[in-house]
């Protein structure tokens, strides 16, 4: 029975780690997207259309980021509620999430 619990905890932690890596990757892509937006140099109708496209991608990335963080939190709650451990506390991911929220809020106006 203990071995099964260890396997479940290990699988849950692996899931958390995979989601955290995906989250960091999405945030990195959002930063690159912002750099592209700032450096495009496009103007007029083409520039406006390009900016709308980049904004749409960023909005979609924000939804993905939120959903990834929700899944990470749910798996951490599962670990805590099952008494396995206190859950993951990856400060880097949490800081990145807070920073992405700040960037999103400033872009959204």
Pairwise CA distance, residues 25 & 10, whole Å: 22
pLDDT tens string 9-31: 888 889 999 999 999 999 999 99
Q: Give the model's confidence band at 102: pLDDT under 50 very low, under 70 low, under 90 confident, else very high.
A: confident
pLDDT tens string 52-67: 999 999 999 999 999 9
Query: Cα 68 to the chain's mean position, in Å?
Result: 5
pLDDT tens string 66-89: 999 999 999 988 888 877 654 445
Q: Where are the domains of the chain?
A: 2-108
Q: What are 58's two structure tokens?
A: 């960023």
pLDDT value at residue 19? 94
Q: What are 101's two structure tokens?
A: 């929220």
């Amino acid at each position: 029975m203990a071995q099964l619990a260890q396997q479940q905890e290990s699988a849950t932690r692996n899931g958390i780690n995979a989601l955290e890596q995906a989250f960091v990757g999405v945030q990195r892509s959002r930063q690159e997207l912002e750099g592209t937006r700032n450096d495009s140099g496009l103007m007029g109708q083409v520039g406006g259309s390009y900016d709308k496209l980049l904004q749409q991608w960023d909005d979609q990335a924000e939804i993905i980021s939120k959903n990834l963080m929700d899944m990470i939190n749910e798996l951490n709650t599962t670990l805590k509620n099952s008494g396995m451990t206190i859950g993951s506390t990856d400060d880097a991911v949490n800081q990145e999430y807070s920073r992405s929220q700040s960037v999103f809020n400033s872009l959204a106006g």
